[in-house]
Structure 1
Amino acid sequence: MTTIAGPIGSEHLQDEWLEADGFGGFASGTVGMPRTRRYHALLLAATRPPAGRIVLVNGIEAWVDMNGKRYALTTQCYVPDLNVPDIADRLLGFTTEPWPTWRIALGAFAGMSADMNAEVSAEVFVAKATGETVLRWRLQCSASAASATNGTNGTNGGSDRELPCGVTLHVRPLLSGRDYHALHHENGAFNFTADLDGACVRWRPYGDLPAIRAASNGSYAHAPDWYRNFCYAVERERGLEFTEDLAAPGIFSFDLSACDAVMILSAEGVSRAQAFDTSDAFAHAQRLEYVERTRRAAFASRLHRSADAYVVAREGGRTIVAGFPWFTDWGRDTFIAMRGLLLACGRYDEAQAILLQWSATLSEGMLPNRFPDYGDTPEYNSVDASLWFVVAVHDYLAVQHASDATRRCLQQAVDAILAGYSRGTRFAIGADQDGLLRAGVPGVQLTWMDAKIGDWVVTPRIGKPVEIQALWINALRIASNWNAQWQAPARRAARAFVERFVDPASGALFDVIDVDHVSGTFDRAIRPNQIFAVGGLPYQIVDGAIARAVVEQVRVHLLTPMGLRTLAPSDPAYRPYYAGGPRERDGAYHQGTVWPWLLGPFVEAWLRVEAPDAAARAAAWERFVAPLDAHLDCAGLDHISEIADANAPHRPAGAPFQAWSLGERLRIDALLAARD
């Protein structure tokens, strides 16, 4: 886990933490504490898991009264760029072990044996069993620098610690009640009414949304007010609306000298919390802490623990969220990510459940690319989601976990996909006369390079994209293991691939042939998609000199410490930075921007063309994996970002927590652990 020893430098203040609840909801924020995104919140719940996400508690304002002085424990950012109060110089440290925890300096006080320094430990975690967000504050102390020099040791917790008396903690929740993509503004419809039940306070800001429950071991004083003009810097950088007003219904107060302070936030009717004695929130928090600490300790590694965040509930089963904070479950992402997140981690039951659930959505040989946030009609607009499903089925069946009935069901789904693609389906997807797979119509983005701005498809790739052929040939070969009808099509497509895709100028592969369905045309843009003909899939499509040329071209032009660029810097369409408003960002999304998930296919391809022995695996780790792992301690802490700038220093961008980025990183571990 990430640990930042204090004082926390400015380079870490914008780093983000994530606490997922297993149903699509989550809590998240920054190390420095100001919310920089509309998605940063302490209670963000999925009302229709994993979708229907709403923000209920955006944050808190917390402070301590000690020695007649007020010490802030949180920072808010207001328009234009005011951090009020700015406590960065009092942040003594931060860690994500076992969950986000800050150490915040208060000041000196007169101890029994020496001058002491007081500090507060502030923690937040989401209890996955219940979906509740637990906040906890603990008063701690240590010897001052002068006392330490004189040999006097302070205490740091424990029953005999010397603590200042009369330290009062105050916490003011900041509420909204909005869709997680939206922003909230002062309005007369907000209901500030507070209902008290023992140690619980209940608010229902808007009648059509779940009520908010806050259980604590403190006292509550109703004091409704509005806090206006919060500034979300990242939203502004993204060219989006970036200001918000939040409602503050009242203040909780705690005697921090006497006991740790706890607050438990939940969404009524959404969380899975069992009824508990509302007079003892502290005991309930302790139970949640024990369960959650035990659960986290059981994971094999930091990466395994982070992987668990993406595996969530969907009605009737399980699914994989493509990323946080704004993605739900996408077909393509699910099947790519599960190879590392689930299969490489031995989570076979969940992989089986997801594959079976998605197989039930087959239509005309296609699986959905995504389910919308609202409504139940899936979107069938991907040529490769179904083919990645076949690859995931192959990997799952290879571990010999499936029952005979499950195996037959999944094999039938694969056969249905290949039959649908062979006879032709939506968007001109179908097997062509040469045995390769054509796809695409104007105005629709079908491959993973799917950026679209209005009617502009940035990388249309209509025709026969190279990675689609690698997936198609793999799917045919996979299915031919149990159905002989696919053997001849597999051989024919593989033969046509070698005959038609090799670029005589470089020895590597074209990105697309038969561009716009015009026979004999080709696109020789240097992109990473050709790597799938060598690595990233069960069956290698090219070998020998061609495979080496592919790996070398990708290494020279596209490899970075964060993954592979999506376009060579020499290309006139290359965009070095992912920045600006939506149009500028989407225009750069696949025009140079680096994608970490592509490092998995590259490492596998590199190992396949090198001698795949222990020395080669060690070299692959040192050259390709170790630089990426440095990213685990920045941006989305303990996770891997969606993308990064194409040019150095390859600033992380996009979603800070991305499923297939982490999934492929875990799959690399499995590749490097292979026996000679």
Structure 2
Amino acid sequence: MIHFTKDILHNFESATSREWLETNGIGGFACSTVIGVNTRRYHALLTAAMHPPAGRIVLLSKLEETVIIDRHRYDLSTNQYSGAVHPRGHTNLEGFRLDPFPIFTFAVDGVRIEKSLFMVHGQNTAVIQYRVSERGTRSVQLELRPLIGFRDYHALTHENEALDRSVHVHHEKLASVRPYPDNPRLYFAHDAEELSPKGYWYRNFEYALERERGLDSVEDLFNPMTLRFDVSARESATLIASTEVVDVAPADVLCRQEVDRRALIVADLPAEDELVRILTAAAEQYIVNRGDQKTVIAGYPWFTDWGRDTMIALPGLTLVTGRDEIARSILCEFARHVDRGMLPNRFPDSGETPEYNTIDATLWYFEAVRSLLQYTADYPFVSAHLYPVLAEIIEWHIRGTRYGIKMDADGLIASSDPKVQLTWMDAKIGDWVVTPRNGKAVEIQALWYNALRTMEDIALKTKIPADAQKYSTLADLAQHSFNELFWNEEGVCLYDAVLDNQRDASMRPNQILAVSLRHSMLSKERAKAVVNAVERDLFTPYGLRSLSPADSRYRGHYEGDAVARDSSYHQGSVWAWLLGPFIDAYFKVNGNGKKVLDQVREWQRVFSPHLTEAGLGHVSEIFDGDSPHHPRGCFAQAWSVAEVLRAVLENGVVRKSGRSTKAVAVS
């Protein structure tokens, strides 16, 4: 259990750097800081996915909370404005914990108030409860003032005359608002004694992280009503915000159901390790519905489902956690969207046609299938549902598809459109592709070879010898050409990309995949040299740098406006997901003796405190390349969580069996 005490909660800077996340399994979410002050446009108590898993709208931004004890008013909420923090309810906080969802403990004039918040799985519904204790015979009331946004989750809202201020009271315990005709109706089920429908605009909230990112950072929010609860003689007050008509009465039942559902997720952990327990619980939050199948949200708070991220994350989110049926569902869902031999790069927020600007997502699909077979040996399923799609993908790559993606005469895969960023190093500013890697990129060849050997294996197991021979021949050709073309004798490592006769010797982490993937084209000696070079120049305990600090283009900090950030995204920033391939490769070339295990466990020890320092219980998207490697980007990234979890379990870094109940405490 992750928890914090007053030393963190009363330190505004420390508290606002720690963010909690609740999700609902259909793309909706809630998130904020451990003291409830919103520092991002994405912070809200209910962001609904109206076209799951996309179509996200911020409905309920936050609550203004006041407790009245014997007629004395005390604020529980905290807001930031330009040059001011008001009110300062966080000074009344004495504890915060994830148990399993966010629980805030306030101590006000001797009265204890415990606030909890969770989302109902499968619904755009947030349940907020307050439990009061140690009040004696005193009079205690609670006032809640909902602040609504009703906007796209990437946008901001401001005071306007178009907003419909009316509150529809369905009955004494249910009210709703619909401030704009194009938005859904938001229902408030409650057990308050009084509802006052008089509304007000709250102006000029400042979101500090948006300001730091060079974006619009000031928002106005509307308060449509005030709810007053008398908790002098009862123990709790409840508010449920939902896009559905809901009843407040079953709130406690919903709470127990959610606690039980989450307990099942971590009931049978594969290892006795707190990092494994935390990341197993986190893994479930990225798996969401897309129609009647499953997909993966790439990261919170701003990504939807991306093809590349989904395939890389699939083994860690589903297979190592024993959820192979979800893995099958995801693979089938993406098979439906294969077009011209390509997997979608991403599904846009508004749900229109998927985008296919990726060369590697499709090849990662083969690795996800290989991983499924590693865990389940379910060749009949792959043969019946996936093999025809996989074979078609290979044929498209041989004859050519979008963006000039085509197998060359040497058996390697090339792309010929310099204006499109096709690899995972995909930052683009206007017409400027920041890390141009067209031609033949090193990891694409590693993935292509891995795909061909995977197809050879499937064909052999399912008794299609002609196909097996074809894929074996193609793989042999690719392996020979790769070693001839990509080995950098001077650097004793691999080139990052080859375009015509130009070889890019940039020291980047992409070459680690030529070692880490199950099917590798390198000799043991060359594999060892690659791992040594990557460890020497790129390794940090939080992941691999995207460019060597010795390179003149290296950027050690990811900060500033959009141009500054995008130009450093893959020019030095540390990517946590690459810990997975690096650990695989490290064990592959060094063995798994005690000295090697001790070294990796030491890296794990250094890494683990991160789970309490940014997105609580999650792993950030990126970190600064320079020490102390401050976390950046999304505070909760699917492939970061998945690859760390997969690597430590598959390589025996954590000790098997049993389950831990040890708490992770920060004070």
Deviations 1:357-382 (A, max 9, x none): 11121222111111111242111110
* Structure 2 residue 253 is the aligned partner of structure 1 residue 251: no
Q: 2:76 aligns with which of 57, 73, 77?
A: 73
- Which residue of structure 2 aligns with residue 467 of structure 1? 443
- Please give the alpha-carbon distance, in whole angstroms, between the structure 2 residues aligned to 1:504 and 1:405: 44
Q: 1:614: Cα distance to partner?
A: 5.4
Q: In 2, are the aligned partners of 1:177 and 1:205 still within 8 Å (CA)? A: yes
Q: Residue 497 of structure 1 aligns to which amino acid in structure 2?
A: F
- Which residue of structure 2 aligns with residue 38 of structure 1? 41
- Pick 1 or 2: higher relative contact order, CA cutoff 8 A, min separation 6: 2
Q: In 1, are the aligned partners of 2:54 and 2:351 still within 8 Å (CA)? A: no
Q: Which range moved further: 199-208 or 612-621?
A: 612-621
Q: Which range moved further: 657-666 or 428-437?
A: 428-437
- Which residue of structure 2 aligns with residue 532 of structure 1? 513
- Which residue of structure 2 aligns with residue 557 of structure 1? 537
Q: 1:214 aligns with which of 168, 184, 188?
A: 188
Q: 1:164: Cα distance to partner?
A: 4.4
Q: 1:543 aligns with which of 518, 523, 532?
A: 523
Q: 1:615: Cα distance to partner?
A: 5.0
- Please give the alpha-carbon distance, in whole angstroms, between the structure 2 residues aligned to 1:14 and 1:54: 24
Q: 1:439: Cα distance to partner?
A: 1.4
- Please give the alpha-carbon distance, in whole angstroms, between the structure 1 residues aligned to 2:343 and 2:176: 42
Q: 2:91 aligns with which of 71, 79, 89?
A: 89
Q: 1:627 aligns with which of 602, 606, 624?
A: 606
- Which residue of structure 2 aligns with residue 155 of structure 1? none
Q: In 2, are the aligned partners of 1:100 and 1:124 still within 8 Å (CA)? A: yes
- Which residue of structure 2 aligns with residue 523 of structure 1? 504
- Please give the alpha-carbon distance, in whole angstroms, between the structure 2 residues aligned to 1:412 and 1:164: 72
- Which residue of structure 2 aligns with residue 398 of structure 1? 374
* Structure 2 residue 416 is the aligned partner of structure 1 residue 414: no
Q: Which range moved further: 406-415 or 566-575?
A: 406-415
- Please give the alpha-carbon distance, in whole angstroms, between the structure 2 residues aligned to 1:660 and 1:252: 41
- Report the TM-score when normalising by structure 2: 0.92
- Which residue of structure 2 aligns with residue 56 of structure 1? 59
Q: Identify if the C-alpha distance between structure 1 residues 8 and 257 changes in structure 2 by more than 3 Å, giving closer, same or farther.
A: farther
Q: Identify if the C-alpha distance between structure 1 residues 250 and 289 changes in structure 2 by more than 3 Å, giving closer, same or farther.
A: same
Q: Identify if the C-alpha distance between structure 1 residues 7 and 625 changes in structure 2 by more than 3 Å, giving closer, same or farther.
A: closer
- Which residue of structure 1 aligns with residue 167 of structure 2? 194
Indicate the SS of the match to 2:198.
strand
Q: In 2, are the aligned partners of 1:75 and 1:85 still within 8 Å (CA)? A: yes
- Please give the alpha-carbon distance, in whole angstroms, between the structure 1 residues aligned to 2:299 and 2:197: 38
Q: Residue 206 of structure 1 aligns to which amino acid in structure 2?
A: Y
- Please give the alpha-carbon distance, in whole angstroms, between the structure 2 residues aligned to 1:476 and 1:14: 45
Q: In 1, are the aligned partners of 2:573 and 2:623 still within 8 Å (CA)? A: yes
* Structure 2 residue 264 is the aligned partner of structure 1 residue 261: no
Q: In 2, are the aligned partners of 1:7 and 1:89 still within 8 Å (CA)? A: no
Indicate the SS of the match to 1:85.
strand
Q: 1:304: Cα distance to partner?
A: 1.2
Instruction: Provide the alpha-carbon RMSD of the alignment.
Output: 1.6
- Please give the alpha-carbon distance, in whole angstroms, between the structure 2 residues aligned to 1:30 and 1:552: 40
Indicate the SS of the match to 2:8.
coil
Q: 1:619: Cα distance to partner?
A: 2.9
Q: Residue 19 of structure 1 aligns to which amino acid in structure 2?
A: E
- Please give the alpha-carbon distance, in whole angstroms, between the structure 2 residues aligned to 1:207 and 1:29: 28
Q: 1:299: Cα distance to partner?
A: 2.1
Q: Which range moved further: 301-310 or 635-644?
A: 301-310
- Please give the alpha-carbon distance, in whole angstroms, between the structure 2 residues aligned to 1:545 and 1:526: 19
Indicate the SS of the match to 1:649.
coil
Question: After TM superposition, what 4+ stretches of structure 1 lie above 3 angstroms from structure 2?
Answer: none
Count how many residue pairs are aligned between Structure 1 and Structure 2.
Answer: 630
- Please give the alpha-carbon distance, in whole angstroms, between the structure 1 residues aligned to 2:15 and 2:651: 31
- Which residue of structure 1 aligns with residue 455 of structure 2? 479
- Which residue of structure 2 aligns with residue 314 of structure 1? 290
- Which residue of structure 1 aligns with residue 430 of structure 2? 454
Q: 1:103: Cα distance to partner?
A: 1.3
Indicate the SS of the match to 1:345.
coil
Q: 1:405: Cα distance to partner?
A: 4.9
* Structure 2 residue 92 is the aligned partner of structure 1 residue 99: no
- Please give the alpha-carbon distance, in whole angstroms, between the structure 2 residues aligned to 1:597 and 1:163: 52
* Structure 2 residue 27 is the aligned partner of structure 1 residue 29: no
- Please give the alpha-carbon distance, in whole angstroms, between the structure 2 residues aligned to 1:440 and 1:236: 38
Q: 1:584: Cα distance to partner?
A: 0.6
- Please give the alpha-carbon distance, in whole angstroms, between the structure 2 residues aligned to 1:165 and 1:590: 59
Indicate the SS of the match to 2:366.
helix
- Please give the alpha-carbon distance, in whole angstroms, between the structure 1 residues aligned to 2:186 and 2:123: 14
Indicate the SS of the match to 1:62.
strand
Q: Which range moved further: 638-647 or 63-72?
A: 63-72
Deviations 1:123-155 (A, max 9, x none): 1111214332111112233xxxxxxxxxxxxxx
Q: Residue 521 of structure 1 aligns to which amino acid in structure 2?
A: Q
- Report the TM-score when normalising by structure 1: 0.91
Q: Which range moved further: 8-17 or 292-301?
A: 8-17
Q: 1:593 aligns with which of 558, 563, 573?
A: 573
- Please give the alpha-carbon distance, in whole angstroms, between the structure 2 residues aligned to 1:598 and 1:329: 19
- Which residue of structure 2 aligns with residue 376 of structure 1? 352
Q: Which structure 2 residue ranges, 5 or more long, are not aligned? A: 267-276, 460-466, 657-667
Q: Identify if the C-alpha distance between structure 1 residues 605 and 164 changes in structure 2 by more than 3 Å, giving closer, same or farther.
A: farther
Deviations 1:363-403 (A, max 9, x none): 22111111111242111110001000011011112323647
- Please give the alpha-carbon distance, in whole angstroms, between the structure 1 residues aligned to 2:336 and 2:118: 35
Q: 1:501: Cα distance to partner?
A: 1.1
- Which residue of structure 1 aligns with residue 652 of structure 2? 673
Q: Identify if the C-alpha distance between structure 1 residues 401 and 500 changes in structure 2 by more than 3 Å, giving closer, same or farther.
A: closer
Q: Which range moved further: 485-494 or 253-262?
A: 253-262
Deviations 1:55-111 (A, max 9, x none): 111001001011332111111112x1321112333221111111111112211xxxx
Q: 1:188: Cα distance to partner?
A: 1.1
- Which residue of structure 1 aligns with residue 643 of structure 2? 664
Q: 1:673: Cα distance to partner?
A: 2.7
Q: In 2, are the aligned partners of 1:8 and 1:92 still within 8 Å (CA)? A: no
Q: 1:170 aligns with which of 143, 159, 171?
A: 143
- Please give the alpha-carbon distance, in whole angstroms, between the structure 2 residues aligned to 1:332 and 1:46: 22
Q: 1:133 aligns with which of 126, 130, 134?
A: 126
Q: Identify if the C-alpha distance between structure 1 residues 7 and 261 changes in structure 2 by more than 3 Å, giving closer, same or farther.
A: farther
Q: Which range moved further: 249-258 or 239-248?
A: 249-258
Q: 1:488 aligns with which of 456, 462, 473?
A: 473
- Please give the alpha-carbon distance, in whole angstroms, between the structure 1 residues aligned to 2:260 and 2:545: 40
Deviations 1:246-282 (A, max 9, x none): 11011111112222111111013xxxxxx66x4xx2x
Q: In 2, are the aligned partners of 1:7 and 1:90 still within 8 Å (CA)? A: no
- Please give the alpha-carbon distance, in whole angstroms, between the structure 1 residues aligned to 2:301 and 2:362: 25
Q: 1:207: Cα distance to partner?
A: 1.3
- Which residue of structure 1 aligns with residue 16 of structure 2? 13
- Please give the alpha-carbon distance, in whole angstroms, between the structure 1 residues aligned to 2:304 and 2:598: 36
- Which residue of structure 1 aligns with residue 209 of structure 2? 234
- Please give the alpha-carbon distance, in whole angstroms, between the structure 2 residues aligned to 1:164 and 1:52: 48
- Please give the alpha-carbon distance, in whole angstroms, between the structure 1 residues aligned to 2:609 and 2:182: 44
- Please give the alpha-carbon distance, in whole angstroms, between the structure 1 residues aligned to 2:157 and 2:652: 49
* Structure 2 residue 203 is the aligned partner of structure 1 residue 225: no
Q: 1:588: Cα distance to partner?
A: 0.2
Q: In 1, are the aligned partners of 2:449 and 2:520 still within 8 Å (CA)? A: no
Q: 1:574 aligns with which of 554, 558, 572?
A: 554
Query: Structure 1 vs Structure 2: percent identity of aligned residues?
Result: 43
Q: 1:642: Cα distance to partner?
A: 0.4
Q: In 1, are the aligned partners of 2:16 and 2:39 still within 8 Å (CA)? A: no
Q: Residue 94 of structure 2 aligns to which amino acid in structure 1?
A: L
Q: Residue 370 of structure 1 aligns to which amino acid in structure 2?
A: R
- Which residue of structure 1 aligns with residue 260 of structure 2? 294
